[in-house]
Each structure stands twice: as C-alpha cells, then as structure tokens.
Amino acid sequence: MSDTAFPLAPSRTARRRWLRAGIAVAGVGVAGFVGLKLLRRGRRYVPPEVAAPELGGTDLASGAAFDLATLRGNVVLVEFWATWCGYCLRNLPEVERFAAEYRDRGLRVVGMSIDEDAGALKDFIARRPPHWPVLRQADARGNFAPVKTVPSFYVVDREGHTVLRWQGELEGEMRDRVAALFKA
C-alpha cells in the first residue's frame, strides 16, 4: 500500500520522526523523574575523609577564636552550609531543634559556611544569630577537604574521630544515626 492511498496519513519518514521525538520526550521524562527523586532524597553517606579532624578560625558570630579540639568529650556535628542554599536554610530549624534536644547530653554544632561572599555571610549572621560557632571555609584552618555539596555534615565522636559524613538534610536515618551515639 502506498502513502498516497491515505492522503491525510503522515508519511513513513514523518511517523519515524514523531516516534523518535516521542521516545526522546519519554526518556527526558524518565530521567527527570529519577533525577527529582534523587534530589528530593539528596542524602547519602560518604566515607569520612578525615579520621581525626582539626578545625580552627574565628567564630563570625562572636568574633572569638575557635578550635575544634576544645570540644573534645562532646559529639560534634560540623555542618557545611551556605546562605544561598535553600536546602540549608530550610534545614536550619531542624538542626536547631536537634541541637537543643541533645545539648545536655553533649552535642555541639559548628557551622562551616562555604559562602564566597564574606559580607553576605556576616549580614545573614547579623539578621539571624546562630546558636553555635560559625566559621567561613575560605578563612578557616584545618584538615577538612573543601566541601562543595551543601548541606553536608561531619560527625565527630567524643574521642575526636570522624564517625560519619553525610550529604543532605538532617532528617530521618541521619538523625537516628547521630542520636544513637548518645545511647552508647
């Protein structure tokens, strides 16, 4: 049967183009769906890069000198974040609740901003004073590898060893794993 038998029917070439376009659209849709699922989760454990972390600098909130070694004997949650990170800002109240809940048991939080704009960070701190020391990654000294994915967390145990590194928000399983350090 020829294409001229049905004058309104698309040609074989046109049908192939439409089929290819449909497959491409479906592929983009599936990739987008999977990507959104992964972004929504946004959490994953990664091996700690530093067994015994060192961290020091100036607390931008108080202006005082800060040294992670002074927190030995506590469980320390080092949160890497940025003022421009929507996930970080959305997660901030949860970190504050968690810190308040476990403070009496020895949880301390240290904020490590990856902001490049020091002025924007200082303005943010002035508008919303933190309940813990905040350092700027570019100005701090220590042996943490530069972090680019925020929010990210390092958990340092009471002996000063990194026991967990997490990329994503403080929720669910991450929260449970940190809380388990207080049951031992």
> What is the pLDDT of the chain when averaged over all its residues?
82
Give the model's pLDDT for residue 12.
77
The confidence band for 17, taking pLDDT boundaries of 50, 70 and 90, is: confident
| Whether 96 and 71 share a structural domain | yes
State the amino acid at position 160 in one-letter form.
Answer: G
pLDDT digits (tens, 9 = 90+) for 96-136: 999 999 999 999 999 999 999 999 999 999 999 989 999 99
8 A C-beta contact, residue 64 and residue 42 = no
| Whether 37 and 61 share a structural domain | no
| Whether 101 and 19 share a structural domain | no
| Whether 35 and 54 share a structural domain | no
Number of structural domains the chain divides into: 2
Where in the sequence is the domain holding 13, given as residue range(s)? Answer: 3-41
Model confidence at 43: pLDDT above 60: no
8 A C-beta contact, residue 60 and residue 136 = yes
Alpha-carbon radius of gyration of the chain: 24
**Cβ-based neighbour number of residue 120 at 10 Å:** 14
The larger pLDDT score, comparing residue 126 to residue 18, is at 126
- CATH number, position 76: 3.40.30.10
pLDDT more than 70, % of the chain: 80
Would you give the distance in Å from CA 183 to the centre of its chain? 25
